Amino acid sequence: MNRKAWLLAAALALSSGSALSQAAPPLPRPLLSGSTSGLGWAIYAGGLRGADLQEDGQSLRLGAPVGASVLGTRYDAARKTALLTYRVPGGLGARSALAFATNQLQLQGFDLRERTFKDANSASATLSREGRKIEIQITRRDGGDLQVLYGFSKE
């Protein structure tokens, strides 16, 4: 290979390498995913950034707050619900957990329709987008564990 061709190849390799290093890191592998009533969704352990939530408007991305320990996930096909259970060091109230969950959905184009705070340990909300509805129920259990139940349906 002559010197000019070698320099051109090296420059191209460097420029493509820097473009790759500037790309957003790939999403982590979801803990649980599926499709309910024609709406794709995935639950992640946490650490989703705003850009991660806005990239793909069709499939929902849901997760726990940064630093949370995910204790489990479960899907109930008969009830069309997905459950995420997590614990945050230092604790987190039901109101704050609901704000976190609704914010994730609002970043993905859902409109908040209703929000209810029953007591310090339970809260709920209903959001909708393009004929799809998601109901969120937050329960803070003894010991500080939070259960977030997502109910998927059509309006």
Which tokens hold the place of 87? Answer: 């614990």
Domains of the chain: 32-154 (3.40.1000)
Which pTM value belongs to this model?
0.80
The pLDDT, as a whole number, for residue 29 is 84
Which among 92, 132, 97, 134 has a CA at the least distance from the CA of 117? Answer: 97
- What is the spatial distance between Cα 46 and Cα 78, in angstroms, rounded to a whole number? 26
Query: What ranges in 1-155 are assigned the alpha helix state H?
Result: 3-22, 50-54, 94-107
Contact 155, 133 (CB under 8 A): yes
* Per-residue model confidence as pLDDT tens digits over 85-138: 999 988 889 999 999 999 999 999 999 999 999 999 999 999 999 999 999 999
